[in-house]
Structure 1
Amino acid sequence: MKIGLQTWGSHGDIRPFLALAEGLQLAGHEVTLLITCVDSDAYAGVTSAAGVRIRVLASPVITPEEGAEIGWSILSSRDPLKQMSLILRRCFGPAEDVMFSAARELAAESDLLVGHYFMHPLQIAAEHAGKPYVSVLLSHAAIPSAYSHPLGLPRIFNKFLWWLTRILLHRVLSPYVNRLRAQVGLAATKDVVSDVWLSPYLTLAAVSPQICERQPDWPSSLQVCGFLDMPNITLEGRLTEELEVFLAAGEPPVYMSFGSWTPSDISNQSEHLRLLTEAAKLAGCRAIIQTHDAAACGFRSDTQILYVSASPHHLVFPRCAAVVHHGGAGTTQSTTLAGKPSVVVAHISEQEHWGKELQRLGVAGKLAKRSSVSAKQLAARIKALRPEMQVRATAVARAMATENGVARAVALINESMR
């Protein structure tokens, strides 16, 4: 069958769709993948070994200068809804019409559509064309249930919290959704979570079952498929001789990366590097710190700290003592798959959810927030990592190693089309 996929976001939003597209193509389908990257043009040269047709649209959506401004505004706001509104207005809105036009073309030529849960242009295009639509959730924080809520309050409050959460999310998201629905003559949506984020045809929670526990009140159309992983791709870097030498030269280091939330402008990147570098020194650990251009910021590698622009996480993380990261979905699951404890420094509310989940599993300590954490506090969290966290992380990784999220997702999609 002809299957069209569309995603938007940063590397953590794109990599799972590359993996799923490859899996569907290898299963015999004719697959097209549309990519819109918020902060990079690095995907312009990405190709598929299996033959997936890849198109990159409106990328990057924002400049490095805009990214610095938006990032600071997000960190300055403690309101998750204001954070989401800012991301929509500045990082999604400018590309929305281009993505919708491409989505309508994709819907016209495809038998089935598969979209990032945030990708309302594709959901609307699929509905308008009368084609089945699969939603892919990269976090289980967005799934309503009487048994759980991201705030982690006693269960008795969950129904009310989700009622309120859905109202507030709808208030922020519906103007974008309904503007496009009106363009093609569809009635306005009444609940964005139910009508866009969760597909009644099939919704895939692309999270390891070790982290995402299926709740009793989830519909049968919502399935946990597991982490959509794939081999390292070129833009993720390689295991260089310098990196290999550093890893072999002493005690396992702590890997530090804030992923797509790492500032690229010199001023904010320098401040970011000062935080991580000082934290590593105060913690007394060797460290690998990932950033865009340490040299331009005046930082030089030595025997204790190595600065890298990119590295293959699946090769490096297993050789580290722990990982300090931002709590992005991809980095979180790469860390747990490598069997390493985490120190999560969250930038937005979704990342706070991941940090709390890792703490619940016993593979991370107390959550830190980027807006307020100091080098001294971050160092204390690194030093607070206990041997039992490593034991627990090893057990979780062993269980995750038996999973194949891509194969499970492909099987679920194939079953849905019978």
Structure 2
Amino acid sequence: MPNELGPESLGVGARSRKVLLAACGTRGDVQPFLALAVALRRHGHQPLLAAPSSYASDATAYGVDFASIDDGPTRVLAETATRRIIDKGLMGVRGKIAAARTVTRLKHLMIAPLRDVAAIAHDHADLAAVVHSAAFPAQHVADMLDVPAVVVALQPGWIATDAFPCQLMPLPPMPRLLNRSTYALVTAAQRSREVERWRTTELGLAPRRYGARRWLRDPEGRRRPVLQSFSRHVTPIDPAWGDAVRTTGFWYLPARPDWTPPRELTRFLDEGPPPVYIGFGSMTGTRARRNHALVTEAIRLTGVRAVVATGWGGIGAATRDSAPRSPNILTIEQVPHDWLFPRTAAVVHHGGPGTVGAALAAGRPQVLCPHMGDQTHWAARMRALGVAPAPLTARTLTAPDLAEAISTAVTDRHLKHRAHDIARLVRAEDGVNQAVNSLLTHIPPHSPLTPL
């Protein structure tokens, strides 16, 4: 992983590109774009990160230009209905109906941040490209500017293929000839009357000629470039995608220059053997207190030391009614994974791609407790790679099962050796620099350029 923030040479005759990076969502959605911005800046280009205001301090710390956008879609995670979906997944008819309603709400809430991105683009007429996630349709802003849009796939499953089914949702085994049909989910997610109305009435653009089914095509029907920010060593890719789809490797963010670990954390790490990390990231749910008790009991059963991250509330903090505080447990809100994970014995987490990438780079065995969506895919891949025991579904998680999985992760030599082997592979990819190089090949010579 890169550790330097200094500029690198652009080469003879090269010019600096000004690139708009549009990111909306949780830390797992935004941090890869910050990593890309840091890499672009290191190569002498001018990234502008448009993201929710809560990430402004991170951008400032890395010297990245920042513009704030609305955070409406993320606020849905705090609502009770969404928390129940996280708890229960898509179980039963009611679960599927609730999920569909949440998706509809998200499409409405997407308009405000898209308006903000368009306004930011109006203020920066010299932009050479717009880079955005597959889940955040800022390609319309690129169409407004008549510059390339580069799509970032943070998870596998966005690009249709006959080789394997869509990875964004857990699916039962099926014949290969049905694989491509499973990507109908992606097409449905991209279909939004609200976004189409915003495109035509507010941006003044013609309706999309190929409709939502061809969301990876520009207005002229050409394929939009896609950067997949994960490793080909970890999840399958299809060579038939061709040059338009580049699987670069994970995008790692350098250590934040102004961050120092809290004293209680360094003291806890110094007081004994490496602890186990346990955290469920941005997963909220309605069972925070239950999860706290479950995790505490699992730690007691195994006898390990543990750093427990409450994150967005997926694991509750201790309360007055909780059992007396254990000296083997340190509870924190969050901490940079790249700093903490190499200092642990194993990593227990929900299966978000960012956490998966950080645990792989650290070379630590993992225990995965997937809650929803593509987390099931990452959990299965970690098991298949030999760096994790069988995954534990979050909604049926028990303390004895978690304790057994943790014990396996910290004692199984095969898991440790495989984790070290995979770490060498994913670190060697240098994914974020590969992404910069690929991105620049998709900005044609006639795009706005600013001399160095």
Q: Place the TM-score, normalised by the shorter chain, in its bin.
A: 0.7 to 0.9
Q: Distance in 1 between matches of 2:385 and 2:98?
A: 27
CA RMSD of aligned residues (A): 3.0
Q: Distance in 1 between matches of 2:74 and 2:432?
A: 30
Gaps of 5+ in 2: 1-16, 445-452
Matching of residues 5-20 of structure 1 within 5 Å: 5-20=21-36
Q: Distance in 1 between matches of 2:99 and 2:252?
A: 26
The answer to whether the aligner puts 1:178 opposite 2:196 as a matched pair is yes
Q: Deviation at 1:398?
A: 1.7
Partner of 1:284: 303
Higher helix share: 1
Q: Distance in 2 between matches of 1:114 and 1:289?
A: 34
User: Structure 1, residues 46-87: CA drift from partner, whole Å, max 9, x if none?
Assistant: 333564321222236555993454122333232697676455
Partner of 2:399: 375
Contact kept? 1:126, 1:133, Cα under 8 Å: yes
Q: Deviation at 1:93?
A: 3.0
User: Structure 1, residues 279-304: CA drift from partner, whole Å, max 9, x if none?
Assistant: 22223322111115724565564321
Partner of 2:183: 166
Q: Distance in 2 between matches of 1:15 and 1:260?
A: 13
Q: Deviation at 1:199?
A: 8.4
Matching of residues 297-308 of structure 1 within 5 Å: 301-308=325-332
TM-score normalised to structure 1 length? 0.86
- Residue type at the aligned position of 2:230: V
- Residue type at the aligned position of 2:352: G
Contact kept? 1:278, 1:375, Cα under 8 Å: yes
- Residue type at the aligned position of 2:303: G
Name which of 93, 98, 102 aligns with 2:108.
93
TM-score normalised to structure 2 length? 0.80
Shift of the 85–6 alpha-carbon distance from structure 1 to 2, 3 Å rule, reads farther
Q: Deviation at 1:30?
A: 2.4
Contact kept? 1:138, 1:205, Cα under 8 Å: yes
Contact kept? 1:113, 1:131, Cα under 8 Å: yes
Shift of the 43–301 alpha-carbon distance from structure 1 to 2, 3 Å rule, reads farther
Q: Distance in 1 between matches of 2:268 and 2:306?
A: 10
Larger Rg belongs to: 2
Name which of 254, 276, 283 aligns with 2:276.
254
Q: Distance in 1 between matches of 2:319 and 2:222?
A: 46
Aligned partner of residue 347 in structure 1, secondary structure: coil
Q: Deviation at 1:92?
A: 5.5
Name which of 288, 305, 328 aligns with 1:269.
288
The answer to whether the aligner puts 1:325 opposite 2:349 as a matched pair is yes
Q: Distance in 2 between matches of 1:296 and 1:269?
A: 11
The answer to whether the aligner puts 1:205 opposite 2:222 as a matched pair is no
Name which of 237, 262, 265 aligns with 1:214.
237
Q: Distance in 1 between matches of 2:215 and 2:183?
A: 7
Contact kept? 2:310, 2:334, Cα under 8 Å: yes
Contact kept? 2:228, 2:245, Cα under 8 Å: yes
Aligned partner of residue 150 in structure 2, secondary structure: strand
When the two structures are aligned, how many residues end up with a matched partner?
405
Q: Distance in 2 between matches of 1:172 and 1:262?
A: 22
Partner of 1:102: 116
Moved more, 246-255 or 63-72: 63-72
Partner of 1:365: 389
Contact kept? 1:146, 1:217, Cα under 8 Å: no
Gaps of 5+ in 1: none
Q: Distance in 1 between matches of 2:67 and 2:96?
A: 31
The answer to whether the aligner puts 1:76 opposite 2:88 as a matched pair is yes
Q: Distance in 1 between matches of 2:74 and 2:25?
A: 11
Partner of 1:335: 359
Moved more, 365-374 or 220-229: 365-374
Q: Distance in 1 between matches of 2:66 and 2:295?
A: 36
Q: Deviation at 1:14?
A: 0.7
User: Structure 1, residues 248-281: CA drift from partner, whole Å, max 9, x if none?
Assistant: 3223221100001145xxx743222112111222
Q: Deviation at 1:315?
A: 1.9
Q: Distance in 1 between matches of 2:245 and 2:332?
A: 39
Name which of 404, 420, 435 aligns with 1:394.
420
Moved more, 182-191 or 222-231: 182-191
RCO higher in structure (CA 8 A, sep ≥6): 2
Moved more, 127-136 or 173-182: 173-182
Q: Distance in 2 between matches of 1:59 and 1:145?
A: 32
Q: Distance in 2 between matches of 1:414 and 1:85?
A: 38
Contact kept? 1:74, 1:86, Cα under 8 Å: no
Shift of the 135–64 alpha-carbon distance from structure 1 to 2, 3 Å rule, reads closer
Q: Distance in 2 between matches of 1:373 and 1:162?
A: 33
Contact kept? 2:70, 2:116, Cα under 8 Å: no
Moved more, 284-293 or 131-140: 284-293
Matching of residues 19-98 of structure 1 within 5 Å: 19-36=35-52, 42-48=54-60, 51-59=63-71, 61=73, 66-78=78-90, 85-91=100-106, 93-94=108-109, 96-98=110-112
